[in-house]
Amino acid sequence: MRDCRDHGRGEVVAGGGEDLALWHARVYYAVFFGGVAWAFWRGAERACGHLLGLGAVLAAALPLTSLVGRLVPALGWWGHVSPAALAVDGGALLMAVGLGVLAWRTGRR
């Protein structure tokens, strides 16, 4: 039986068998430098809406993976319904909505 600390959203990326800290660092730096490169290539003003939209999609992925983990337990994904986990998912959902509104408003400028 696996320890509860081994279950997390990182399993979706790492498959549960590799070092999650290494995967988190790789994904973090890839997204960060990708965003910086996109802003240099497109120009900061035009890239702003795209990057806000990407942030909204990625923030929405957190509660979505929890929902899929609850609905399809055979996947083995983390889908706890503790108050702390629900607070994190709720905060991520609010952030996704906020970033989506900002992306939409930025696109209308």
Give the pLDDT mean for 37-43. Answer: 95
Q: Residue 31 in 3-state DSSP?
A: helix
Work out the pLDDT band at 108, boundaries 50, 70, 90: confident
pLDDT at 17: 57
Residue 57 CB burial class (10 angstroms; 0-12, 13-18, ≥19): middle
pLDDT digits (tens, 9 = 90+) for 50-69: 999 999 999 999 999 888 88
Please say whether the beta carbons of 106 and 52 come within 8 A. Answer: yes
Backbone torsions φ then ψ of 63, nearest 5 degrees: -65, -25
- For the chain, domain boundaries: 4-108
pLDDT at 72: 83
Q: What Å distances lie between residue 73 and 29, 77, 78, CA to CA?
A: 31, 7, 9
pLDDT at 11: 54
Q: How far apart are the first and last CA of the chain?
A: 54
Instruction: Report percent pLDDT > 90 for the chain.
Output: 50
pLDDT at 3: 45
Token pair, residue 74, equals 């055979």
Work out the pLDDT band at 80, boundaries 50, 70, 90: confident
